[in-house]
Structures are given as C-alpha cells and as structure tokens.
Amino acid sequence: MVPAISMPDPEDPTGAELGLPPTLRLGRQGAVAVLTLARAAKRNALDDTTVEGLHRFFATPPEWAAVVVLDADGDHFSAGLDLNELAERDTIAGLEHSMSWHRAFAAMESGRLPVVSVLKGAVIGGGLEFATATHIRVAETSAFYALPEGQRGLFVGGGASVRVPRLIGAHRMTDLMLTGRVLDAREGQDLGLTHYLVEEGEGFEHALSLALRIAENAPVTNFAVLHALPLIAQGDPAQGYLMESLMAAVASGSPEAKQRMRSFLEGRAGKVGGQE
C-alpha cells in the first residue's frame, strides 16, 4: 500500500494553514490531495466542526491539487452524525443545520476536484450521505451501508433523499429507511452504491491509483465531466445534446487536447485495450 505523505514544500499550505480542524488530516501524493477523516475513536462520526472543515477545504482547495482521495482512519469510513450533535433545536435551527451539511457536500460534489472515496466498515446515515456526494467510490469487503434515521424517529438531512435514490432507486431507499435494513459490501456494489469492490486493506491503494490516473486528464475534461455531465444526464435531451456539443467543442479546441490528439495519431499515446 502506498502511504499518504505530508507536504514537504514550505510553499504548499498544510491542513492547519487551510483552516482544517484536527479531525481532518491532509497529505499529498503528487497532484493528489489525500484528505483523511481522523476520528477513529468515534468511528469517524461527523460533528459540525468536521463538516465545516470539509466545506472550507472543498470551497477553496489547494492550488496544487487536481484530485482528492478521501480516506478514513481506523476500521470505519463514517458512522454518520455524531450523536453529541443531536442537541435540542427548534424547527429553524434544525433546518439551518441540515442545510449546512448540504452546503458542505455540495462544495465537494460540485467543486473543481474529482473525489475518490475509500469506503470500509460503517458507511451509515450521514456517512452514506457523505460518501454518495463523492464522484468515485471504492469499497472494501468490510463496508456496510444503512440509513437508520427511520428507526430513530428522524429523517435524513444530509442529502440522502436526493443522492441515494439516483443510485439505487427510491423504492430501495424506502426499504432501508422503513426497515433498518443493512446492505453488505457486495449488495452495495451490485445495487450501484459503489464503483469498485476490493479486498480488505486494498481500498486506499486502489483509490490512489485511480486518482493518479484521473490527475493525468486534461483539466477541461475533468471540469466537463464534473459539471456538464450531471446537468446533461438530468436535463431535457435536446438541451443535453446542445450542451454536449458545446463542451466537446470547448474541450477539443484546447491546445492540450490538440497536442494529445497529435500524440495519439503519431503513435506516441497508448491505445485502449482490455482490462489489465
């Protein structure tokens, strides 16, 4: 496994200089930022300080970063909302708290950086809401998924009602919330919650290899995939075709795209083959 390394260049900001709380640790692998949830004793439950730190990081990520790998200390990705955050709130305060999570996860999902997450152990409640806002999800065989809010007299508040049905369908989310059903790693993979399923302990290495590959893409291509593709997929087909044509023209017209195409035509770029 390739370990996350700290940033030796004094010109590169550290996590503290970026305003990250102690519950988030920042490392670097070339152009890949490795952001780690560091609350293993709490099964990486998300408190307000951590959510605010995530919002801050993804709203203003370091300039050197092209991709993020989202990892977690310990045996669990995230057990969801820290129960210490379940303070008495009136309706308006509860609304504002939920929307603060929406803003944080939207800053990641709709930011400039592709995010590859490493899922293991508990990915439940707010942890699943957090995970489904990442762009590529690599699960280890220990991962399990649940939305226990319905069993606790609550309703999801971090975006699950929007993101989870898009992945597995509203009827399956209904089952999770009404019955408290827990999905194992294979079930989550088969239903579409994750993109890759690897053996225990192999998640970070696999995620990092994907992130390093993504970092080699032209920035305009990554931008189009993150920002144009979701709008095309969710919108009117006629508008989608037009947006696709516009983005294709923008991407192919860039100097970098022209150089890459010349390399391909001259036989200096690899051809697409089968699985390695």
Going by pLDDT thresholds of 50, 70 and 90, the confidence category of residue 11 is very low
Of 142-151, 183-192, 240-249, the one with minimum mean pLDDT is 240-249
Q: Is the pLDDT of residue 171 over 80?
A: yes
Q: Is the pLDDT of residue 148 over 90?
A: yes
Q: Is the pLDDT of residue 234 over 90?
A: no
Per-residue pLDDT reduced to its tens digit, 99-127: 999 999 999 999 999 999 999 999 999 99
pLDDT at 51: 97
pLDDT at 87: 65
Going by pLDDT thresholds of 50, 70 and 90, the confidence category of residue 18 is confident
The DSSP output letter for 153 is T
Residues with a known catalytic role: 129, 149
The structure's pTM equals 0.87
Residue 201 zone, left/alpha/beta (φ > 0; ψ -120 to 50; rest): left
Helix (H), strand (E) at residue 38: none
Query: What is the arithmetic mean of pLDDT over 179-208?
Result: 98
Query: Contact 210/198 with Cβ under 8 angstroms?
Result: no
Of 50-64, 201-215, 224-238, 259-273, the one with minimum mean pLDDT is 259-273
pLDDT at 15: 66
Going by pLDDT thresholds of 50, 70 and 90, the confidence category of residue 31 is very high
Q: How far is CA 66 from CA 2, 60, 73, 215, 217, in A?
A: 18, 13, 23, 6, 9
Going by pLDDT thresholds of 50, 70 and 90, the confidence category of residue 251 is confident
Q: Is the pLDDT of residue 154 over 60?
A: yes
Query: What is the arithmetic mean of pLDDT over 216-221?
Result: 91
Query: Contact 38/73 with Cβ under 8 angstroms?
Result: yes
Burial of 150 (0-12, 13-18, 19+ CB in 10 A): middle
